[in-house]
Amino acid sequence: MSLIQRIDALLPQTQCGKCGHPGCKPYAEGIASGEPINKCPPGGSETIAALADLLKVPVLELDVSRGSAPAQIAYIREAECIGCTKCIQACPVDAIVGAAKFMHTVIVDECTGCDLCVAPCPVDCIEMHPLPRATVLPIVGGLAFSLEEQQARAAKRNHARRRFEQRNARLHREEQQKLAERQARAQRAVQHSEVTLDPVQAALERVRAQKAANADAALKKAKVDLAMSRAQLNKSLKAFGHPPTFEQQSQLIVLQQQFEAAEQALAQLESGSPPVLAPPAPAKDAELKRAKIQLAMRRAELKKAQTSEAPAEQIEALQQALSEAERQVDAYAAP
């Protein structure tokens, strides 16, 4: 086994993305490249210790800013389900069954408790329940005590890994098939046009067909980008504490800007207008962004000081710094 495979074998295979990667295997690749080993809430301290032993590095405390990941399972209130299939598309191990306009349900033995299906649900009919440990073996770390339980958990993790890989392979095949169908339709249109059109018109038709195929691909990519930016923003809002740290506040600002940009790009494509290429941000815009980040940091500093009942002199200094940050934002925002 390669180093990446040995690292991946120690991860819980929930495929939850709380580590910042789209699955356990990508996080294993990141660890092999030098990333910290404490970014996996489902694995917990057991996984951190195992990774430290494998890599011969110090044991770290779990990064609690990544959120919590108890032994849990998704539950769909079927009477409220509208059959939109968004949860099916979000599940990384195909543990939800159903069809469009029909209610969905969760396969208990296949659910890893990743909670990725909760945010996309438009009617909020999905909730996470504690795992019934009397009947279902937990896949997360720290809950397998005997040798038999550890062996059974390893088998369940291997099964979850296979389902994750099979789903990714299926999605890749479907995407390739759709692309081939679009290209075939465009080619048939070109061939039909070439029968009746002169060479100049035929060339124009080929260009139009290629533009149509490119527009379809761009629209689909824009939808995927919007869904990913929305999910990343929602996940960060859930995972970060209240109030967020300076670094987390800055990250939330960037994620919100990415989400708004994705929304704008999709709206332009759907309206049929050509996408507007964003010009390089002028220096004033860059300064305004930095000023907003500084303002968020000053607010967080002041709130933290007030909560901890810091000395009046310190609070007064922080209030002055906040006022200065607000003045900077107003100055850069002025036309």
Q: For 266-323, how does the pLDDT look when each residue is reduced to its tens digit (9 = 90+)?
A: 888 877 655 444 444 455 666 777 777 777 777 877 887 788 888 888 888 888 988 8
Q: Before 243, cis peptide (omega within 30)? A: yes
| The model's pTM | 0.57
C-alpha 227/C-alpha 233 separation (Å) is 10
List, for residues 28-51, the tens digit of each pLDDT value.
Answer: 999 999 999 999 999 999 999 999
CATH architecture of 70-196: 2-Layer Sandwich (3.30)
Strand, helix or coil for residue 213 = helix
Structure tokens that stand for 159 in this block: 């099964």
C-alpha 10/C-alpha 40 separation (Å) is 11
Tell me what the pLDDT averaged over the chain comes to: 86
Strand, helix or coil for residue 73 = strand
User: For residues 103 and 121, is the Cβ–Cβ distance under 8 A?
Assistant: no
User: For residues 61 and 84, is the Cβ–Cβ distance under 8 A?
Assistant: no
Superfamily of domain 3-66 in CATH is Electron transport complex subunit B, putative Fe-S cluster (1.10.15.40)
C-alpha 156/C-alpha 313 separation (Å) is 58
* More confidently predicted of 165 and 261: 165
Residue 244: pLDDT above 70? Answer: no
End-to-end CA distance of the chain: 60
C-alpha 317/C-alpha 321 separation (Å) is 6
